[in-house]
Amino acid sequence: MSTISYEIKMLKGKTALITGASRGIGSAIAKKFAQQGANIAIVDVGNMENAKIVKEEIETFGVQCKVYVCDISDFAKTKELVDQVIIDFGGIDILVNNAGITRDGLILSMKEEDFTKVIQINLTGAFNMIKHTYSHFMKKRSGRIINISSVVGLTGNAGQSNYSSAKAGLIGLTKSVAKELGGRNVLCNAIAPGFIQTDMTGKLNDKVKESFMTMIPLKRQGMPDDIANVALFLASDLSSYVTGEVIRVDGGLAM
């Protein structure tokens, strides 16, 4: 007697717009969502070679995927982007604000442009994306907004005043948006990753990596999939009564 198994896909038929999805955490989230049935709009500012590779992987899950080039710090360009994604996919159900940059340095030596650029991409970019999807989510009376912050947005970090400020601001933005849109069944949450294995952390020398390990109770570096798993929870119906929350995924680093 044969048995029939039914795989329930948590995001089947949904469309997710994910910024910075050509690599690292953004790529992991895009592939995780696609595996669970979501169509994916990949947004990146210039890494098209990687974006195309991610797109090909996503399409193996039998979902739709398109790549868009956009500087999310540009208010007008982000509106054009959102409008085009809505046309191409028929709507947006999930927004993941993941794109971010670092320009580290002590305040003593940090240039004004290094501080401003990080704020523009990491914080203003998220505002732009939320601003231009806001009315769409309100009309649908549903939606999920997931902002990728950082534990340094909670604790601060020497040499990262710009990055920490942007990520702390993203937490404040998350809570404000959650309060504004909660009545329309639009949930807004943030994830605060810790020391995750990405291209960004891969540039650190072994001594710095070892010092981080001594501070992490789980004694290991996190993986992009660790973040993607929590993002999937927040994007799915499993989190239908969770909004305005900041979930640390850091192995206990900021505990």
H or E segment at 252? none
- The model's pLDDT over 110-145, given as tens digits with 9 standing for 90+, comes to 999 999 999 999 999 999 999 999 999 999 999 999
Cβ neighbour number for residue 139 with a 10 Å cutoff? 11
3-state secondary structure at position 4 = coil
Cβ neighbour number for residue 103 with a 10 Å cutoff? 16
The whole-number pLDDT of residue 73 equals: 98
Q: For residue 132, what are its two tokens?
A: 């231009």
Q: Residue 169: which of 130, 111, 210, 221 has the closest Cα?
A: 130
H or E segment at 175? helix 161-181
The whole-number pLDDT of residue 18 equals: 98
CA distance 59 to 67: 12
For residue 121, list its beta bridge partners: none
Residue type, 57: E
223-243: average pLDDT: 98
Contact 4, 29 (CB under 8 A): no
Residue type, 251: G
197-201: average pLDDT: 76
For residue 148, list its beta bridge partners: 191
Using the predicted structure, report yes or no on whether residue 205 has a pLDDT greater than 80.
no
| Band (1; pLDDT cuts 50, 70, 90) | very low
- The residue with tokens 């999920």 is 144
Mean pLDDT of the chain: 94
Rounded (5°) CA angle 94-232-97: 45
Cβ neighbour number for residue 75 with a 10 Å cutoff? 13
The whole-number pLDDT of residue 184 equals: 98
Domains of the chain: 15-247 (3.40.50.720)
The whole-number pLDDT of residue 148 equals: 98
- CA 62 vs. chain centroid, Å, equals 23
Catalytic (active site) residue 163: yes
Q: For residue 21, what are its two tokens?
A: 């999805």
User: 142-167 burial by CB neighbour count: b if 16+ within 10 A, else e?
Assistant: ebbbbbbbbbbbbeeeeebbbbbbbb
- The model's pLDDT over 68-82, given as tens digits with 9 standing for 90+, comes to 999 999 999 999 999
219-226: average pLDDT: 95
The whole-number pLDDT of residue 202 equals: 64
Task: Catalytic residue, from 68, 134, 163, 241: name it.
Answer: 163
- The model's pLDDT over 3-55, given as tens digits with 9 standing for 90+, comes to 555 567 899 999 999 999 999 999 999 999 999 999 999 999 988 999 999 99
Rounded (5°) CA angle 75-78-80: 115
